[in-house]
Amino acid sequence: MSNNYASRDGLVEAKAERNLRLVYIFVVLLPIAAFVFSFPLGRYPISIPDLLSALAGKVFPFVHGPEGVINTVIFQVRLPRILAAMLVGAALSIAGAAYQGMFKNPLVSPDILGASSGAGLGAALAIFFSWNVAGIQIAAFVVSLLAVIAVYFLSNKIKRDPTLALVLTGILVGTLCSSFTSLLKYMADPYDKLPAITFWLMGSLATVSPKNVISSFVIMSAGGVPLYLLRWRLNVLSLGEDEGKTLGLETGKLRLAVIICSSLLTAGAVSVSGLIGWVGLIVPHLARMLVGPNYKVLLPVSIAIGSVYMLLVDDLARCLTSAEIPLGILTSIIGAPFFFAILLRGKKGL
């Protein structure tokens, strides 16, 4: 009888391992497929053979790729945009997954500590003072980090459960930033700067340059790599402050590390893309439904799903109509019903 149980358990385990291997294959292949699939899309048609020969021409100097416009479209327009979409999606998803664990709450998104509101204020300031595109991005990034730093230090003053203190001060600073953004919009030139601020806040990847991709890749790696290495410990952190400590976790230090890393990821993402909601909330849910809550597997799967989801939404944004649809609007329109469907599907994701 007990043998029977043991062998059944063994079977279950073997099946679980096989499933996990399938998931890993999916994690690697899906982003590659989405990457290739996204090149031909857009107003300027590019065939797959064109794309392959252009890529080969870039990698091997002896192959002559296509010349002129095709090359420019592929390498100066499509490639940076595709990479930026994938980076932004992945970054927001990792940050969201990490924060959901840290706050012991699956309904948390990466902007809970005011990173997005801060970025919005920074961008609004830069547009108000007529800075150039690079200036807008730098301002968004810096103010976003400043907002989170303010939240962290203010929360340390509150003698309560530290995660609750963080949430409360996050709301406080976030609201403050939004109010100042509104003030700037109110004072801005209504024919020129007001639309620019409003459009930035809706999110878009239309103006992404190769330089943007490189700089945001560096920033996101600085946040993403440590978080990825620490990921197993996020499980223990998600059990709560006291339990984590009694299991041997330096919760204060790990929490600070998660905040720094997630803020770099979020600030790095929104400073390139503008405000994009829902991604960091939905993707970890979807990943948790597929592979369960263990961060060891959850984080890589979140990266894969996040990058693919963002890329596909951006494909829609640039192909659906002749004018671009702001990305933030699309992520919410697609995200909200999608999230409802996840909630209906049951408790496994939560």
Summarize as ranges the residues that interact with other proteins (CB under 8 A): 5-6, 9, 12-13, 16, 101, 104-106, 229-233, 235-236, 238-240, 242-243, 245-250, 288, 292-294, 296, 347-348, 350
Rounded Cα gap, residues 213 and 300, in angstroms: 21
Nearer Cβ to other proteins (17/67): 17
Q: How far is the CB of 223 from other proteins (least distance, A)?
A: 16
The CA-atom distances, in angstroms, between 250 and each of 12, 163, 229, 241, 302 are 35, 15, 16, 9, 25
Nearer Cβ to other proteins (145/236): 236
Nearer Cβ to other proteins (78/231): 231
Nearer Cβ to other proteins (56/107): 107
Rounded Cα gap, residues 50 and 56, in angstroms: 10
Let me know: does 342 contact 282? Beta carbons within 8 Å. Answer: yes
Q: How far is the CB of 308 from other proteins (least distance, A)?
A: 23
Let me know: does 118 contact 143? Beta carbons within 8 Å. Answer: yes
- C-alpha 302 chain-centroid distance: 9
Q: How far is the CB of 6 from other proteins (least distance, A)?
A: 8
Q: How far is the CB of 290 from other proteins (least distance, A)?
A: 13
Q: Is 92 helix (H, G, I), strand (E, B) or coil?
A: helix
Q: How far is the CB of 267 from other proteins (least distance, A)?
A: 24
Let me know: does 128 contact 197? Beta carbons within 8 Å. Answer: yes
Rounded Cα gap, residues 100 and 281, in angstroms: 8
Nearer Cβ to other proteins (24/180): 24
Let me know: does 185 contact 312? Beta carbons within 8 Å. Answer: no
User: Which ranges of the chain does DSSP label H, i.e. alpha helix?
Assistant: 2-38, 48-59, 68-72, 79-102, 115-128, 133-157, 162-187, 193-202, 210-229, 231-237, 241-246, 251-273, 279-291, 295-319, 327-344
Q: How far is the CB of 310 from other proteins (least distance, A)?
A: 24
Nearer Cβ to other proteins (35/228): 228
Q: How far is the CB of 13 from other proteins (least distance, A)?
A: 7
Which residue in the block uniquely carries the two structure tokens 């530290």? Answer: 162
Nearer Cβ to other proteins (23/172): 23
